[in-house]
Structure formats: structure tokens, C-alpha cells
């Protein structure tokens, strides 16, 4: 939920008994410190900081040019000059700088997406006392995460909005639904399993616990809460989306992620091969998005969205969290926004 979580949302979730989560993937050290301080001022409860563990991409001029040629008609339609093929500023993977921030800020929980960092970095994180978790999209990934030292595994079913955490597998055709994934992961690992994907109301929370999960992660549900940094265009799209109107697509960033199947997704095809590696694809889509949004349209915007987003209730994050937690058996376990 990079970009959409605010300190107020994290505080609201944490104070309601959930694990408030936020990403420092795209933050400078100064920004990270300021964000963290603001959250610590608002709550003394545990919080979760999230980082990405992708392989930084190699710049490939021919690949970027191929992508540009696919996008040229849209640039023309919007009256934009085609930019020189260039990468966008890279999204940093978890490295020494980020690890230093964890050592300095000492969040209670550190979560990763796209696998885990190198063992020496992971050791440094663990020595801060932080609990470590990461997302698995298959049983094999869950077992790998447990063996690598995760304290909990997030079983991310195919319904989930945003980026697939997949790191051992690359084939989206064989990605697994939450109903099937969670019990198989629960059977395969000893650490607690957090269910994610298609959970946006107390029924989903109750179902996840019935499957053997020890907690749930809700993402899309929080995009409509009062504190979310969600544009009005995005909010409108989320309020209107139907169950069968999202798709897993790599056109917005280069990695598979579930978003509303808007015009760009439909016309290019969700898994268009020409999109360069994560996160380079985003560099050339961003100008289209900006020009289109200025005209009041979201047909070129990455509208990250899970398949059950419309089940969530609007309102303050704390109220949403308490509502979700009402699905926990005997009020056990906790909801988390991430």
C-alpha cells in the first residue's frame, strides 16, 4: 500500500488493536525518521515497517524502447511528446541504508515483499529484536521463508490487490486462491500464518481463522478509509468496482500486481511481455497517468485493488479495524493494514 498509508492510518489501526503497517520503500532517511516519529507520537503500540526485496533491474535500452513503442499511440492521443527512453528513479531494494534505519528506529515488526534480504542484512534486522515476516504465494515459498528465519508467513492468495509477493515462482497462471492456499500453508509450516487476499469484511476474517490462519492482512479495505491517501479518482473507481473487474497485470511496474482492469490493462493485455522489469515499466506509464488524471480520467492509472475491495466499509481506520476484528473468533488475533 506504498503511497496510500498515512501516519494517521497507522495510528488508527494500532490504537484499535491491529498491527499498523506502512512502507518505507520510497522514503529518504529523513522522511522515514519524520514518518516514524509522527507515528510514535500517536501510538505506543507495535507497528510494522515494510520493505521490498526485489533484484534491482539492469537498464536495458532496447527493452525500454520496445515498451515506448507500445505506448506511443497513447502519448499521441494525449498530445504528449514521447520522452527519451529512460528509466524511472529506481525503487531501492532493502540494503544497508534501509537496514540502518531499522536499527535506528526499531520497529517491532519488519515485513518484506518479494522474498527476503541477504542473510547478513536479515541477521542485522533480527538483532534489533524485530519480528520478521514476508509474503508467500505458494506452499514452497512459505516453507522457504520459514527455513530462512521468518517469525510469521503471510499467505497471499490470488485475490489480493497490489503486487504479488511471488519470488520463487514467476507463473501467474498457477497462483493460488486464498481458500486453497491458507490451509495448505498452515499444514506446511510451524510459524503463524497471516491470511491475505479477498478479506475486506468480518466474514472474510472469520473464514481465514476457520482455515487455520492466526491473523489476517487487509489492504484494499483500507484504501477507502478516511485517513487513506487515496485520490478522489481512485476512490470513485474503488467504490464502483465489481468483483470481476480486476486483473493481475505487469504493465504498470513490470511485476505482476492486481489492479482494476482499466483501459490500459485491457488494451495492452494484462501480462504484456514488452513491459520492462520492475520497476522500470512505471517510468514510461507515469506521464500518461499524469496527463490523463489531469483530465479527470483514471484509465492509465494503476488502481491497485483486490477482488473483495467493495465489501469494505468507509470511515475511520480505527472503526474499520474494530469491525474487521469482530470477525475474529472470541476476538482473538488481529487485523493489519498492509
Positions in the binding site for a second copy (CB under 8 A): 137-140, 157-159, 169, 171, 173-181, 183-184, 187, 197-199, 201, 203-204, 206-212, 242-248, 261, 270, 306-308, 310-311, 327
CB of 185 to a second copy, least distance (A): 8
The contacts of residue 156 (CB under 8 Å, 6+ apart) are 135, 136, 137, 164, 165, 181, 196, 197, 217
| CB 167 to a second copy: min, Å | 13
In the bound state with a second copy, the residue whose beta carbon lies nearer, of 59 and 179, is 179
Distance CA 113, CA 154 (A): 10
For a second copy, the closer CB: 65 or 271: 271
**What DSSP state is assigned to residue 247?**
E
Which residue's CB is nearer to a second copy, number 49 or number 185? 185
> Side by side, which strands form the sheet with 257-260?
162-163, 257-260, 246-249
Count other Cβ atoms within 10 Å, centred on residue 13. 34
Output the nine-digit C-alpha cell for 181.
492456499
Beta strands in the chain, from DSSP E residues, in sequence order: 19-23, 47-52, 109-113, 131-136, 152-156, 162-163, 193-196, 215-218, 246-249, 257-260, 335-337
Residue placing its CB nearer to a second copy in the complex, 201 or 227: 201
Q: Find the shortest distance in angstroms from Cβ 276 to a second copy.
A: 21
Residue 212 or 316: the one with the smaller Cβ distance to a second copy is 212
Q: Which is nearer to a second copy, 28 or 170 (CB)?
A: 170
In the bound state with a second copy, the residue whose beta carbon lies nearer, of 159 and 227, is 159
DSSP string, 105-165: H--SEEEEESS---HHHHHHHHHTT-EEEEEESSHHHHHHHHHTT-SEEEEE-TT--EE--
Rounded least distance, CB 152 to a second copy, Å: 19
- Residue 30 Cβ vs a second copy, minimum distance, rounded to whole Å: 39
* Most distant pair of Cα atoms in the chain: their distance: 59
Please give the grid coordinates belonging to residue 18: 491491529
Give min distance, CB of 174 to a second copy, in A.
Answer: 5
Distance between CA atoms of residues 279 and 29, nearest Å: 21
Give dist(CA 332, CA 320) in Å, integer.
16
The least distance separating a second copy from the CB of residue 205, rounded to whole angstroms, comes to: 9
For a second copy, the closer CB: 87 or 157:
157
* Shortest distance, position 265 Cβ to a second copy, whole Å: 9
Amino acid at each position: 500500500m506504498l503511497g496510500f498509508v498515512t501516519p494517521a492510518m497507522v495510528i488508527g489501526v494500532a490504537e484499535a488493536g491491529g498491527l499498523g503497517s506502512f512502507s518505507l520503500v520510497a522514503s529518504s532517511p529523513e522522511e522515514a525518521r519524520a514518518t516514524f516519529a509522527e507515528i510514535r507520537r500517536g501510538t505506543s503500540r507495535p507497528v510494522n515497517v515494510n520493505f521490498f526485496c526485489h533484484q534491482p533491474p539492469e537498464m536495458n535500452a532496447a527493452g525500454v524502447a520496445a515498451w515506448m513503442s507500445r505506448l506511443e499511440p497513447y502519448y499521441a492521443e494525449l498530445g504528449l511528446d514521447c520522452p527519451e527512453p529512460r528509466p524511472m528513479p529506481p525503487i531501492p531494494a532493502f540494503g544497508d541504508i534501509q537496514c540502518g534505519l531499522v536499527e535506528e528506529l526499531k520497529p517491532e515488526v519488519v515485513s518484506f515483499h518479494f522474498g527476503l534480504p541477504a542473510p547478513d542484512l536479515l541477521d542485522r534486522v533480527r538483532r534489533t529484536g524485530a519480528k520478521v515476516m514476508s509474503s508467500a504465494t505458494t506452499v514452497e515459498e512459505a516453507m522457504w521463508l520459514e527455513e530462512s528465519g521468518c517469525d510469521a508467513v503471510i499467505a497471499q492468495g490470488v485475490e489480493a490487490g497490489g503486487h504479488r509477493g511471488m519470488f520463487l515462482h514467476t507463473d501467474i497462471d498457477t497462483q493460488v486462491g486464498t481458500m486453497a492456499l491458507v490451509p495448505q500453508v498452515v499444514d506446511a509450516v510451524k510459524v503463524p500464518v497471516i491470511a491475505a487476499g479477498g478479506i475486506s469484511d468480518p466474514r472474510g476474517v472469520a473464514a481465514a481463522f476457520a482455515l487455520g490462519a492466526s491473523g489476517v492482512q487487509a489492504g484494499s479495505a483500507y484504501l477507502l478509509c478516511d485517513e487513506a491517501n487515496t485520490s478522489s479518482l481512485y476512490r470513485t473507481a474503488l467504490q464502483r468496482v465489481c468483483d470481476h473487474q480486476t486483473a493481475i497485470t505487469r504493465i504498470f511496474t513490470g511485476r505482476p500486481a492486481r489492479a482494476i482492469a482499466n483501459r490500459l490493462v485491457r488494451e495492452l493485455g494484462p501480462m504484456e511481455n514488452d513491459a520492462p522489469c520492475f520497476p522500470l515499466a512505471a517510468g514510461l506509464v507515469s506521464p500518461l497517468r499524469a496527463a490523463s488524471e489531469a483530465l479527470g480520467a483514471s484509465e492509465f492509472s494503476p488502481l491497485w485493488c483486490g477482488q473483495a475491495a467493495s465489501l469494505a466499509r468507509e470511515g475511520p481506520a480505527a472503526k474499520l479495524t474494530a469491525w474487521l476484528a469482530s470477525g475474529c473468533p472470541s476476538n482473538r488475533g488481529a487485523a493489519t493494514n498492509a
